[in-house]
């Protein structure tokens, strides 16, 4: 009945759907309708593109990483520089799209959740730009480890609401945001920050993020005259990866690799590698892969990177895993830290800890490639927010 | 344990409103009986396993003695996103005490041997994932065998495929279990009709846009909302969320067939078990609170229109 009722497909294979309290169902219908109307509206598209270009700084460069390429001596490596987008990560693409949509729907208040703070900052930025009140839910533990981003959100006029329930990280921030939305649904739009949540969010967020892959495609064809062999991106909820992969979905020679956070190591149980080590379940409005116990209770995730510290994953990634369209692998905290240091030294680019997981996988991928291959890594964000965390870890190692 | 009717096999989930012949579920019997006697029903929610399963067993008995018409047992979940702070905290405590679906089904099974319980409908309220993980068909089979009469799944709106799968599993021979649909003030008429089509015994009306938990007053639009539901179906309606005091219950019962009280009781159980333990004094206190709600909805003679 869902598929007949929805204008857009609500599922990716068996994943996705709308598992939310009844109160929200009409709001999801309204959102889907407004989103479809906006897609068909040339003036909305032009406005969105205008702000992506003139405000967010798109297109972001596709950078030939000479130092990195030399480092491995195999395939040519390019970096898609989302770290150079306004606010320092790809999150601004989706935040601008959804805030413009919320304005169009006549909503007068915005809420969001955030893990690393990048999505919170992006949403607070878009809300400041368009003068809409904004509240951001953030886990207590994440507030601790991402203090710089908390301060940025406050500077931008957003209210940061600390979430002390459960694991005190992203999962519980989403729970609280959904509770707020159920309560204030008449006036409030919930800007979900990844390709997760009930339909139409996974589709809509993917579409807003697809600018990453569309630009990459155009740019790589312009410089290389051919498509890349591999696309590599980190996966927490999975929005940078999905926006990067999706415009290539019809190109079977382009292989997709999603890198999850293995935390302290998959075997320790302290990780956030949902697709690698999880199983199908229902959380936050969608059926997808989940970290859960035998009773169906959601397990806490763990990663040094707050943005990947999530026990769920976008349903379209679950579908890509099931169909084999993408391969999902993982990198540990330590591997990500090593990549963080290596990229800083070799390229003069300090990556976000999230993006460092994608870089970390190059150690395993590159030996399998030849100089004829092209590897593009989505450098989803910059590492300024993480230097404090990394400093602490390094000091700990030196002692 | 052998309380099920034995004659009628329901092979169609959409029941006729004037269906009467044959065996019906405890819930259907309860709501027919309430209407026949012009009484309003009291549905009490408690979180199973808070603070432990043994106490829940004793509390359920005390609540039955106090005159509850239906008892709703909450299945604790790690991410109860439709619940306010009181039930969230209770769920956390229940999980910490090792509660899971299997233990709750064993609890229902053991309650069925107690006084009052052959007739009292027992309903489970659970988020989808614990049931999904258990296996939908296996869950319905085991829950029905244990004597569960109904299932409320707040994150499974009518129309999702698991809703149809559960209904299908509940249509099996000798299974008298209902999937109880929820409607909210934001529900369109079309969705209320769809919920009414599913409902075998009653429709759960969420009184407000929000999560469970105590409120100072009933929502302003409640009468209008229930009126709208009534205009679309003659299935019985129970109203829940935010019914915090006997006064609220009295007022809500003017419009609905039954009222559901959750957080107020969960909070009472937590308070009394924290301050006086889990013995007879605690049970008596909870019983007295439930009796307060019961009296509030029955005190008024049945002379007013609703």
User: Do residue A19 and residue B155 have CB atoms under 8 angstroms apart?
Assistant: yes
Backbone angles phi, psi at B61, to 5 degrees: -65, -40
From B164's Cα to the closest Cα of chain A, the distance in A is 9
Size of the A and B interface in Cβ pairs below 8 Å: 120
- Residue A396: predicted pLDDT: 79
Q: Which residue numbers of A have CB closer than 8 Å to B's CBs?
A: 1-2, 5, 17-27, 165-166, 171-172, 175, 178-179, 182-186, 281-285, 287, 290, 292, 294-298
Whether domain B24-298 has CATH 3.40.980.10: no
Mean pLDDT of chain A: 96
Whose CA is closest to A296, among B75, B270, B72, B159?
Answer: B75
Distances (CA, A) of A219 to A64, A78, A80, B37: 11, 11, 10, 76
From A108's Cα to the closest Cα of chain B, the distance in A is 17
| Cβ count within 10 A of residue A65 | 24
Q: How far apart are CA B188 and CA B191, in angstroms?
A: 5
Q: Which positions in chain A touch B187 (Cβ < 8 Å)?
A: 22-23, 25-26
Separation of first and last alpha carbons in chain B: 38
Cα dihedral: A366, A372, A376, A377 (round 10):
10
Q: Which positions in chain B touch A315 (Cβ < 8 Å)?
A: none
Q: Where are the alpha helices (DSSP H) in chain A?
A: 2-5, 25-40, 42-54, 66-72, 91-104, 118-129, 140-145, 147-155, 170-184, 201-209, 211-224, 239-245, 274-277, 315-323, 333-347, 353-360, 362-365, 387-398
Residues 6+ apart with CB under 8 A from B6: B23, B174
Candidates B49, B133, B154, B228, partner chain A, best to mutate (most A CBs within 10 A): B133
Q: Which two tokens stand for residue B220?
A: 């302003």
Q: Which positions in chain A touch B182 (Cβ < 8 Å)?
A: 21-22
Q: Which two tokens stand for residue A324?
A: 């084999």
| Of B50, B52, B72, B257, catalytic | B72
* Complex-level ipTM beyond the 0.85 threshold: yes
Whose CA is closest to B62, among B252, B239, B272, B275?
Answer: B272
DSSP state at residue A89:
B
| Mean pLDDT, residues A8-36 taken together | 96
From A200's Cα to the closest Cα of chain B, the distance in A is 14
CB B197 within 8 A of CB B189: no
Q: How far apart are CA B105 and CA A395, in angstroms?
A: 52
Query: What is chain B's pLDDT, residue by residue, as a tens digit (306 residues)?
Result: 333 333 333 333 333 333 333 467 899 999 999 999 999 999 999 999 999 999 999 999 999 999 999 999 999 999 999 999 999 999 999 999 999 999 999 999 999 999 989 999 999 999 999 999 999 999 999 999 999 999 999 999 999 999 999 999 999 888 999 999 999 999 999 999 999 999 999 999 999 999 999 999 999 999 999 999 999 999 999 999 999 999 999 999 999 999 999 999 999 999 999 999 999 999 999 999 999 999 999 965 544 444
Whose CA is closest to B52, among B1, B115, B100?
Answer: B100
CB B189 within 8 A of CB B232: yes
CB B210 within 8 A of CB A183: yes
β-bridge pairing A76-81 and A62-64? antiparallel
- Residue A398: predicted pLDDT: 57
Break chain B into its structural domains and give their ranges: 24-298
Cα Rg, chain A, nearest whole Å? 19
Whose CA is closest to A335, among A261, A278, A230?
Answer: A261
Backbone angles phi, psi at B123, to 5 degrees: -120, 140
DSSP letters spanning A172-192: HHHHHHHHHHHHHTTTEEEE-
Distances (CA, A) of A153 to A168, A200, A350: 19, 26, 22
Q: Give per-residue pLDDT as tens, A205-224.
A: 999 999 999 999 999 999 99
Range from A40-49, A129-138, A167-176, B146-155 carrying the lowest mean pLDDT: A167-176
DSSP letters spanning A222-274: HHHSS--SEEEEE-SS-HHHHHHHGGGTT-TTSEEEEEEEEETBGGGTB---H
User: Is pLDDT larger for residue A397 or for residue B137?
Assistant: B137
| Nearest-CB residue to B101 (from A22, A185, A295) | A295
| Mean pLDDT, residues A322-348 taken together | 98
CB A109 within 8 A of CB A188: yes
Q: How far apart are CA A380 and CA A355, in angstroms?
A: 6
Region at A197 (left for phi over 0; alpha for psi -120 to 50; beta for the rest): left
Q: How far apart are CA A174 and CA A198, in angstroms?
A: 12
Three-state SS at A160 = strand
Q: How far apart are CA A100 and CA A80, in angstroms?
A: 25
Q: How far apart are CA A388 and CA A147, in angstroms?
A: 9
Q: How far apart are CA A4 and CA B59, in angstroms?
A: 45
From A14's Cα to the closest Cα of chain B, the distance in A is 10
Residues 6+ apart with CB under 8 A from A395: none
pLDDT of residue A338 exceeding 90, the answer is yes
SS3 breakdown of chain B: % helix, strand, coil, rounded to 5?
45, 10, 45
Q: Which positions in chain B touch A2 (Cβ < 8 Å)?
A: 159-161
- Residue B301: predicted pLDDT: 53
DSSP state at residue A325:
S
Residues 6+ apart with CB under 8 A from B51: B93, B94, B97, B270, B273, B278
**Exposure letters A146-179 (e unless 16+ CB within 10 A, then b):** beebbebbeebebebbbbebbbbbbbbbbbbbbb
Q: Strand locations in B180-282, DSSP E?
A: 182-183, 203-206, 237-240, 258-261
Three-state SS at A139 = strand
């Amino acid at each position: 009945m869902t598929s007949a009722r929805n204008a857009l497909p609500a599922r990716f294979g068996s994943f996705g759907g709308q598992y939310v309290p009844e109160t929200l169902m009409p709001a999801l219908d309204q959102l889907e309708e407004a989103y479809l109307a906006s897609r068909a509206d040339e003036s909305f598209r032009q406005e969105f593109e205008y702000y992506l270009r003139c405000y967010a700084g798109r297109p972001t460069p596709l950078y030939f990483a000479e130092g990195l390429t030399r480092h491995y001596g195999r395939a040519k490596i390019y970096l898609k520089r989302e770290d150079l987008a306004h606010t320092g990560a790809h999150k601004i693409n989706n935040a601008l799209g959804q805030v413009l949509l919320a304005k169009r729907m006549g909503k007068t208040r915005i809420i969001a959740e955030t893990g690393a703070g990048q999505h919170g900052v992006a949403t607070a930025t878009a809300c400041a730009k368009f003068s809409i009140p904004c509240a951001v839910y953030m886990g207590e533990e994440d507030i601790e480890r991402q203090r710089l981003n908390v301060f940025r959100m406050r500077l931008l006029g957003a209210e940061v609401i600390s979430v002390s329930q459960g694991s005190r990280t992203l999962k519980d921030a989403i729970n609280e945001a959904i509770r707020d939305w159920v309560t204030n649904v008449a006036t409030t739009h919930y800007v979900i920050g990844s390709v997760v949540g009930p339909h139409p969010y996974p589709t809509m967020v993917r579409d807003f993020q697809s600018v990453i892959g569309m630009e990459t495609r155009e740019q790589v064809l312009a410089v290389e005259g051919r498509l890349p062999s591999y696309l590599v991106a980190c996966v927490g909820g999975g929005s940078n990866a999905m926006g990067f992969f999706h415009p290539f979905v019809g190109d079977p020679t382009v292989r997709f690799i999603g890198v999850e956070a293995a935390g302290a190591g998959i075997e320790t149980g302290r990780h956030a590698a949902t697709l690698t080590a999880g199983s199908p379940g229902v959380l936050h409005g969608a059926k997808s892969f989940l970290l859960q116990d035998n009773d169906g209770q959601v397990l806490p995730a763990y990663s040094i990177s707050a943005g990947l510290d999530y026990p769920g994953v976008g349903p379209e990634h679950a579908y890509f895993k099931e169909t084999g369209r993408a391969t999902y692998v993982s990198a540990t905290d330590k591997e990500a830290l090593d990549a963080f240091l290596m990229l800083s030294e070799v390229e003069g680019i300090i990556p976000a800890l999230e993006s460092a997981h994608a870089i970390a996988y190059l150690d395993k991928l590159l030996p399998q490639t030849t100089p004829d291959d092209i590897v593009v890594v989505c450098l989803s964000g910059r590492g300024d927010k993480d230097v404090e965390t990394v400093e602490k870890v390094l000091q700990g190692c030196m002692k | 344990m052998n309380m099920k009717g034995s004659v009628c096999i329901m092979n169609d989930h959409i029941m006729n409103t004037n269906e009467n012949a044959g065996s019906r579920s405890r819930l259907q019997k309860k709501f027919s009986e309430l209407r026949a006697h012009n009484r309003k029903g009291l549905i009490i929610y408690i979180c199973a396993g808070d603070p432990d399963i043994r106490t829940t067993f004793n509390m359920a008995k005390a609540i039955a003695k106090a005159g509850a018409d239906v008892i709703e047992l909450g299945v604790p979940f790690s991410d109860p996103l439709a619940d306010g702070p009181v039930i969230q905290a209770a769920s956390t405590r229940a999980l910490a005490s090792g509660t899971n679906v299997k233990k709750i089904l064993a609890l229902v099974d053991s309650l069925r041997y107690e006084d009052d319980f052959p007739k009292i409908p027992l309903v489970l309220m659970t988020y989808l994932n614990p049931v999904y993980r258990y296996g939908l068909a296996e869950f319905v089979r085991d829950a029905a065998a244990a004597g569960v009469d109904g299932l409320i799944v707040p994150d499974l709106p009518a129309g999702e495929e698991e809703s149809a799968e559960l209904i299908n599993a509940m249509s099996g021979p000798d299974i008298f279990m209902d999937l109880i649909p929820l409607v909210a003030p934001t529900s369109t008429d079309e969705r209320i009709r769809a919920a009414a089509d599913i409902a075998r015994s009653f429709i759960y009306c969420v009184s407000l846009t929000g999560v469970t938990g105590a409120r100072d007053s009933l929502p302003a639009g409640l009468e209008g909302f229930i009126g709208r539901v009534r205009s679309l179906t003659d299935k019985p309606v129970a109203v829940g969320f935010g019914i915090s005091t006997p006064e609220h219950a009295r007022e809500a019962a003017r419009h609905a067939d039954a009222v559901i009280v959750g957080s107020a009781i969960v909070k009472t159980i937590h308070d009394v078990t924290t301050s006086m333990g889990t013995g007879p004094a605690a049970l008596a206190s909870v019983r007295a609170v439930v009796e307060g709600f019961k009296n509030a909805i029955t005190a008024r003679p049945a002379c007013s229109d609703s």
